[in-house]
Amino acid sequence: QKEVEQDPGPLSVPEGAIVSLNCTYSNSAFQYFMWYRQYSRKGPELLMYTYSSGNKEDGRFTAQVDKSSKYISLFIRDSQPSDSATYLCAMSTNTGNQFYFGTGTSLTVIP
């Protein structure tokens, strides 16, 4: 079983829609949870990070962590064509050296 599972999509939505991106994980020791956005032929760019459980909001983006279900989500409100990219979740333990990444979900927002 992979450490982190993420539906690769692709996901296609109309402009203005609410987008929900999700990851599940198996390691209950994960405490740091991050979302990265990766445009084509670019490196991943950090969008959001949360520690332990709960919600975090930043503009149109909301990250949620449900540690009891080992499930994290990223919501994008009022999606824009510029949000079209691949979204990667990543997570780590308190003491671990590395972040474990999901495979990424490809999102296209249609004008």
Partner 1 sequence: EAGVAQSPRYKIIEKRQSVAFWCNPISGHATLYWYQQILGQGPKLLIQFQNNGVVDDSQLPKDRFSAERLKGVDSTLKIQPAKLEDSAVYLCASSLERVSGYTFGSGTRLTVV
Binding site for partner 1 (CB under 8 A): 4, 6, 8, 32, 34, 36, 41-46, 49, 51, 88, 90, 92, 97-99, 101-104
Min separation Cβ 95 and partner 1, Å: 10
Q: Which residue has the tokens 């670019």?
A: 42
Min separation Cβ 44 and partner 1, Å: 5
Q: How far is Cα 105 from Cα 63, in angstroms, rounded to an integer?
A: 15
Cβ closest to partner 1, residue 64 vs residue 92: 92
C-alpha distances (whole Å) from 73 to each of 40, 41, 85, 95, 111 are: 22, 25, 16, 23, 24
